[in-house]
Amino acid sequence: MGGAAILVRLAAQTVLAPAKINLALHVTGRREDGYHTLSSLVAFAEDGDGLSVAPAAHDMFAASGPFAPALAGCDPADNLVLRALSLARRVAETDGQEIAPLSLSLDKRLPIASGIGGGSADAAALLRLAGLVCPGIAPDLRAAALSLGADVPMCIDGVPALVEGIGEIGWALTRFPAIDCLLVNPGAGVATPEVFRRLKRRDHAPLPPLPPGGFANPGALVAYLRETRNDLGDAAEEIAPEIAVARHELVAAGAVFARMSGSGATVFGLFEHREALMRAEGSLRAAHPRWWLCPTRLAGTAGAREPMR
């Protein structure tokens, strides 16, 4: 495009990069390029990492928070937030726009590589901001985001959805209930490639059809989840038996449903109400002081009835 590019400055602000939860995940195949195809029901928590941006003389990145040390010494080429900024600039340039230098501060509250999309959510938060301030490029940003990781496009959308392909194909749910949820990570390291390598089958059927219009209440959601699986669960629990311990203890503590998210090691437990969740959090913290626990809620959509009780 000819002519000088329009300089776009992002105003100082902080946005949430919410945890992505795979409520159900069926492995349906494997492509020639090695990527596995999936059928998954995803939702997003009301908690996650925080990404702050501010105008600056040149690009800067800093991380804080309980899991920031894991990013220390990270090669900028492997930093998903910086890669997302570079991607946003390339897409903006094709539309005659230039994103001005930014100071980026990441409050890393989610565990690294834990099955809840932390890095993907961080990248998606940056891309969402870029799409808001650079008119017209949001669709191109979402399409290009797949190059950063299969979870990034769904994290840009940030809504309850059925996703397929390698994660890039999604259908938003019109009805999804907010539901109390406790995230638990026992601190076990699980490498996603090793989980997939251990799969005994890669050709499962996709998820059963969703109820027309989605889920009207938490009870309907839990009933549906009981008819589904996480096909990565057995392999992950072979690598890290602590995942199974966390899952069983969530149920023993009062969760109406518990399952591993993604490739692990984080497990989610769904609860009938906040009081039950807080009791479970207290008992699990006392029994396992080294575990990471995050009491939260899965964000719902309009038109769903929230109370389970």
Cα separation, 282 vs 253, in Å, equals 10
Q: Which of 49, 151, 180, 231 is catalytic?
A: 151
Stretch (H or E) spanning 14: strand 13-30
What string of DSSP letters covers 103-151? Answer: EEEEE--SPTTSSS-HHHHHHHHHHHHHHHHSTT-HHHHHHHGGGG-TT
CA dihedral 230, 244, 266, 220 (to 10 degrees): 50
Task: State yes or no: is 200 an active-site residue.
Answer: no
Task: State yes or no: is 151 an active-site residue.
Answer: yes
Stretch (H or E) spanning 73: none
CA dihedral 290, 295, 299, 302 (to 10 degrees): 160
The DSSP call for residue 230 is B
Helices (H) and strands (E) in the chain, counts: 9, 12
The DSSP call for residue 293 is E
Alpha helices (H) along 226-273: 233-239, 242-252
Any idea which residue has 């349906």 for tokens?
28
Q: Which of 20, 107, 122, 231 is catalytic?
A: 20
Task: List, by residue number, the catalytic residues.
Answer: 20, 151
